[in-house]
Structure 1
Amino acid sequence: MTQQELERYLWGAATALRGTIDAGDYKQYIFPLLFFKRISDVYDEEFSNALAESDGDLEYAAFAENHHFQIPEGAHWNNVREKTVNIGTALQEAMRAIEQANPNALFGIFGDASWTNKDRLSDAILTNLIEHFSQHKLNVSNVPDDQLGNAYEYLIKEFADDSGHTAAEFYTNRTVVKLMTLIMDPQPGESVYDPTCGSGGLLLNCALHLKDEGKEYRTLKLYGQEVNLLTSAIARMNMFMHGIEEFSIVRGNTLTHPAFLEDDQLKTFNVILANPPYSIKAWDRKAFESDPYGRNLWGTPPQGCADYAFQQHIQKSLDKKNGRSITLWPHGILFRDTEADMRRKMIEQDLVECVIGLGPNLFYNSPMEACLLITKTNKEASRKGKVLIINAVSEVRQDKNIAFLEPQHIERIYAAYKAFQDQNGFCKVVGIDQVLSHKASLNMSLYVSNVNSSDTKISLNEALQNWMQSSAELKKSMDELFRVIG
Structure 2
Amino acid sequence: MTDTKTAPAELFGSAMSLSELEQYLARAADLLRGSIDQADFKAYIFPLMFFKRISDVYVEEFEAALGESGGDHEYAAFAENHRFAIPDGHLWSDVRERTENIGTALQRAFRGIEKANPETLFGIFGNASWTNKDKLPDRTLADLIEHFSTRTLSNAAVPPDVFGNAYEYLIKRFADQSNKKAGEYYTPRSVVRLLVNILDPQEGESVYDPACGTGGMLIEVIEHVKESGGHVNTLWGKLYGQEKVLATSAIARMNLLLHGIEDFMVVREDTLRNPAFYAGNRLAQFDCVVANPPFSLKNWGEGEWALDKWGRNTLGGVPPKGYADWAWVQHMLTSARSTTGRVAVVLPQGALFRQGAEARIRAHVLKHDKVDAVIGLAPNLFYGTGLAACVLVLRHTKPAERRGKILFINGESLFKRGRNQNTLEPEHAERLFELYQGFDDVDGLAHVADLAEITGNNDNLNIPLYVAPADGGEKLTLADALANLEAAHARAAETRAALEQELAKWGLEASA
Give, in whole Å, the separation in 1 of the partners of 2:428 and 2:296: 28
Partners of 2:28 and 2:260 in 1: how far apart?
23
Q: Decide which of 47, 50, 63 is 1:48's aligned counterpart.
A: 63
Q: Could you tell me which residue of structure 2 aligns to residue 92 of structure 1?
A: 107
Contact 2:226 2:232 (8 Å CA) reproduced: yes
Q: Deviations over 1:221-250 (max 9, x none)?
A: 100000000000000000011111211000
Q: Displacement, 1:414?
A: 1.1
- Tell me the distance in 2 between the aligned counterparts of 1:378 and 1:189: 20
Shift in Å, 1:5: 1.4
**2:346 paired residue among 308, 313, 328:** 328
d(CA) in 1 for partners of 2:71 and 2:227?
39
Distance in 1 (alpha carbons) for counterparts of 2:297 and 2:427 = 34
Greater mean alpha carbon deviation, residues 279-288 or residues 403-412: 403-412
Trace 1:73-92 onto structure 2 (pairs within 5 A): 73-92=88-107
Q: Is residue 2:300 matched to residue 1:283?
A: yes
Per the normalisation by structure 1, the TM-score is: 0.92
Distance 2:128 2:354 in 1: 40
Aligned 8 A contact 1:149 1:241 in 2: yes
Q: 1:312 aligned to 2:312? A: no
Cα RMSD (Å): 1.0
Deviates more, 1:359-368 or 1:249-258: 359-368
Q: Are the counterparts in 1 of residues 444 and 472 from structure 2 also a CA contact under 8 Å? A: no
- Aligned partners of 2:72, 2:125: CA distance in 1, in Å? 32
Residue 21 of structure 1 and its aligned partner are, at CA, apart by 1.1
Find the counterpart in structure 1 of residue 441 from structure 2. 422
Residue in 1 that maps onto 2:316: 298
Amino acid in structure 1 at the alignment position of 2:215: G
Q: Check conservation: 2:443, 2:470, Cα contact below 8 A.
A: no
Counterpart residue number, 2:148:
133
- Contact 2:180–2:385 (8 Å) recurs in 1: no
Instruction: Give the Cα–Cα distance (whole angstroms) in 2 for the partners of residues 162 and 427 of structure 1.
Output: 35
Query: Would you say the 8 A contact 1:176–1:404 is kept in 2?
Result: no
What is the letter of the counterpart of residue 195 of structure 2?
M
2:428 corresponds to which residue? Answer: 409
Q: CA deviation at 1:264?
A: 2.4
1:231 — aligned with what?
A: 248
Q: Distance in 2 between matches of 1:246 and 1:378?
A: 29
Matches within 5 A, 1:50-69: 50-69=65-84
Letter in 2 for 1:321: T
**Contact 2:190-2:425 at 8 Å conserved across structures:** yes
Name the SS for the 1:106 alignment partner: coil
Structure 1: distance between partners of 2:172 and 2:435? 29
* Structure 1 residue 36 corresponds to structure 2 residue 51: yes
> How far apart are the structure 2 equivalents of 1:327 and 1:402?
21
* Letter aligned with residue 138 of structure 1: L
Q: Which residue of 1 aligns with 2:397?
A: 378
Contact conserved, 1:360 with 1:369, CA < 8 A, in 2?
yes
Identity value in percent = 53
2:130 is matched with 115
Identify which of 377, 390, 393 aligns with 2:412: 393
How many Å separate the matches in 2 of 1:446 and 1:66? 62
CA distances 1:164-211 after superposition (whole Å, capped 9, x unpaired) = 221001100111001111111100110000001000101111011112
**SS in structure 2 at match of 1:6:** helix
2:372 and 2:395 in contact (8 A); partners too: yes
Deviation of 1:408 (Å): 2.2
Give yes or no for the alignment of 1:260 onto 2:289. no
From 230, 235, 239, the equivalent of 1:215 is 230
Distance 1:407 1:157 in 2: 16
**Residue aligning to 2:506:** none
Kindly state the Cα deviation for residue 441 of structure 1 after the two structures are TM-superposed.
Answer: 0.7
Kept in 2, the 8 Å contact 1:177–1:205? The answer is yes
Encode CA deviations 1:332-365: one digit per residue, 9 max, x unaligned: 1111113111101111100000110110111113
Structure 2 contact 312–331 (Cα < 8 Å) conserved = yes
Cα drift, residue 260 of structure 1 = 0.2
Deviations along 1:312-339, one digit per CA (max 9) or x if unpaired, are 0001111011100000111111111131
Distance (whole Å) between structure 2 residues aligned to residue 405 and residue 114 of structure 1: 36
* 8 Å CA contact retained: 2:372, 2:406: yes
Match of 2:33 in 1: 18
1:175 aligns with 2:190: yes
Separation of aligned partners in 2, 1:449 and 1:16? 52
CA contact (8 A) 2:370 2:394 kept: yes
How much does 1:450 deviate? 2.8
For the pair 1:154 / 2:173, whether they are aligned, the reply is no
* Kept after mapping to 1: 8 A contact 2:199/2:288: yes
Partner of 1:441: 460
CA contact (8 A) 2:172 2:186 kept: yes
Please name the residue that 1:462 is paired with. Answer: none
The alpha carbon displacement at 1:74 in A equals 0.3
Aligned equivalent of 2:495:
none
Could you tell me how far 1:453 is from its partner in structure 2? 4.9
TM-score, normalising length: structure 2: 0.87
Give the AA of the match of 1:267.
Answer: A
Q: Is the 8 A contact 1:344 1:440 kept in 2?
A: yes
Gaps of 5+ in 2: 1-15, 474-512
Cα deviation, residue 399, structure 1: 2.2
Aligned pairs for 1:458-469 (under 5 A) are none
Aligned length in residues: 454
Structure 2 Cα separation of the partners of residues 92 and 276 of structure 1? 31
Counterparts of 1:262 and 1:422 in 2: how far apart (Å)? 42
**1:71-90 deviations in Å (ceiling 9; x for gaps):** 00000000000001110100
- Are the equivalent residues in 1 in contact too, given 2:296–2:348 (CA < 8 A)? no
Q: Distance in 1 between matches of 2:324 and 2:29?
A: 36
SS in 2 for 1:196: coil
1:367 to 386, 391, 406: 386
Counterpart contact for 2:181–2:384, Cα < 8 Å: no
